[in-house]
Structure 1
């Protein structure tokens, strides 16, 4: 049975399923899916991945997936509510909250790792799976302090996943990509999206030892858009997520994303999305 903690930060459920083929589903929320026991095949967006005990998957509302279960499987789901993404002030200081937001945003918009292979570092994988087992234990036992322990464990787990996705992007993907310099620039822009002083052309050019003119020409030639356009589009992706999966006020979103004010954000949003933030939120709100 699923269970939400009293702050409705996330929902945890432990389910056992017998051998067979499950029906295809699309998650309603972002979720971590852990295989505590069993084996079979996980099909995500038409791609097949073998699963076994200890596998950890990350699923988004854009994914379609099903299972071909070979041996009795125990699935553990951690589904995140909109509150958990954007209102995690409980048990956390403001700096911790901001760090959580940056990491969770990076995971959402940069999840290129192969499904089930979230961890690049073996030691991180050991820690991540230990955290999952601890979360399950606290969820089942429901002892004094369990909610705080679960919340902190999930926060650490998300940070581990973000770190390993960054490693995957900056190592495997960039090394194998013939256009790795532009991918490095993109990774830089995404990682520093909350620091406008580091997104200035001179700052970027200095970091990559380019001239400002060469940086602009190089990036536009390889991506089809200017650096400024890329930054705006990436910011708007983050705004999209906050509008759909949070109750943040537009003023709060504008401040977080370093727009001058909510009117400035509304004008930019209308220009690129063809609708106002309020209308976008109404269209995409989950029923």
Structure 2
């Protein structure tokens, strides 16, 4: 199965389609999908959910899905990692919405659907104007969106989700939460944390994500470093220390290996664009 890997905290897309262009796939991130208008079926992990008009879906990293479109359909996809929302309270809110979606109880009354449509269009407009994954405005709007949707969901839901799905999601969450701590991401530590043998850990991760464990950690760390270089005033020494490099020489070597330029040159080029 195809697995889409996203290292950005947030990515937003808004489009209209008459035919679904993607194979059945899952992700390493969460997705909130809003249908503004259209009709078809959303096939999620062996469930087929029909929709017509406005509809909302929330997917976790292990949820395999695709759409079958019966009419031109306008979508907004809000794709974000587990660390994007910040406070653990929002991760609990998200888990509640995921459980509702898996039980096909994630439905909105007409007035709520209209409000959700308007709020999501505002988020899209902010994204088009700034295109910054770290935008505080978009983060607050996203939190407001989740809070509003949650008010229309039953407070008591069955606890669904297989141990298999939960383990790979927890493993990815753990990597995101500990990306600044190299010792916590060693094979032995990860294997012990998730009750896997150190020899099977890499095989398991590749089977579930389609990429190697080391490659995933490296690319995620690299993306966060790029963000710091582009959007913070931290010195190279401070960034190097934050990500656990023993000195700036090792930091420079790591960055140059993947970008063929030093961090300082990368930052300077970005400022001159």
TM-score bin (small chain)? 0.5 to 0.7
With over 3 angstroms needed to count, the CA separation of the structure-2 counterparts of 1:146 and 1:242, relative to structure 1, is closer
Q: Secondary structure at the match of 1:102?
A: helix
Q: Does the aligned pair in 2 maintain the 1:244–1:285 contact within 8 Å?
A: no
Q: Secondary structure at the match of 1:71?
A: coil
The reply to whether residue 275 of structure 1 matches residue 263 of structure 2 is no
Q: Secondary structure at the match of 1:62?
A: coil
Q: Which of residues 124, 145, 149 is equivalent to 2:137?
A: 149
How far the C-alpha of 1:11 sits from its partner, in A, is: 0.8
How far the C-alpha of 1:237 sits from its partner, in A, is: 7.5
How far the C-alpha of 1:140 sits from its partner, in A, is: 3.0
CA–CA distance in 2 between the matches of 1:86 and 1:138?
20
Q: Which of residues 114, 121, 128 is equivalent to 2:116?
A: 128
The reply to whether residue 86 of structure 1 matches residue 83 of structure 2 is yes
Q: Does the aligned pair in 1 maintain the 2:37–2:54 contact within 8 Å?
A: yes
With over 3 angstroms needed to count, the CA separation of the structure-2 counterparts of 1:282 and 1:130, relative to structure 1, is same
Q: Could you give the per-residue CA deviations for residues 11-65 of structure 1, whole angstroms, max 9, x where no partner exists?
A: 11122212x5655421323211111222233333444333233211122343333
Where structure 2 has 5 or more consecutive residues not aligned to the other structure, the ranges are 1-6, 182-187, 212-273
With over 3 angstroms needed to count, the CA separation of the structure-2 counterparts of 1:23 and 1:238, relative to structure 1, is closer
TM-score by length of structure 2 reads 0.53
Q: Could you give the per-residue CA deviations for residues 63-110 of structure 1, whole angstroms, max 9, x where no partner exists?
A: 3333332322222111123xxx12655xxxxxxx13123323444466
What's the Cα RMSD here?
A: 4.4
How far the C-alpha of 1:268 sits from its partner, in A, is: 7.2
CA–CA distance in 1 between the matches of 2:80 and 2:118?
20
1:1-287 to 2 correspondence within 5 Å?
Answer: 8-18=8-18, 20=19, 24-28=23-27, 29-81=29-81, 85-86=82-83, 88-89=85-86, 97-108=87-98, 111-114=101-104, 117-119=105-107, 124-142=112-130, 147-167=135-155, 169=157, 240-245=168-173, 246-249=175-178, 269-270=194-195, 274-275=196-197, 279=201, 282-283=205-206, 284=208, 287=211
With over 3 angstroms needed to count, the CA separation of the structure-2 counterparts of 1:88 and 1:66, relative to structure 1, is closer
Q: Secondary structure at the match of 2:140?
A: helix
Q: Does the aligned pair in 2 maintain the 1:21–1:69 contact within 8 Å?
A: yes
Where structure 1 has 5 or more consecutive residues not aligned to the other structure, the ranges are 1-6, 90-96, 170-182, 188-232, 253-262
With over 3 angstroms needed to count, the CA separation of the structure-2 counterparts of 1:118 and 1:264, relative to structure 1, is same
Q: Does the aligned pair in 2 maintain the 1:39–1:51 contact within 8 Å?
A: yes
Count how many residue pairs are aligned between Structure 1 and Structure 2. 194
TM-score by length of structure 1 reads 0.51
Q: Does the aligned pair in 1 maintain the 2:62–2:169 contact within 8 Å?
A: no
Q: Which has the higher contact order (CA 8 A, sep 6+)?
A: 2
Q: Secondary structure at the match of 1:152?
A: helix
With over 3 angstroms needed to count, the CA separation of the structure-2 counterparts of 1:123 and 1:103, relative to structure 1, is same
How far the C-alpha of 1:9 sits from its partner, in A, is: 1.9
Q: Secondary structure at the match of 1:149?
A: helix
Q: Secondary structure at the match of 1:49?
A: strand
CA–CA distance in 1 between the matches of 2:23 and 2:189?
41
With over 3 angstroms needed to count, the CA separation of the structure-2 counterparts of 1:119 and 1:157, relative to structure 1, is farther
Q: Does the aligned pair in 2 maintain the 1:36–1:75 contact within 8 Å?
A: yes
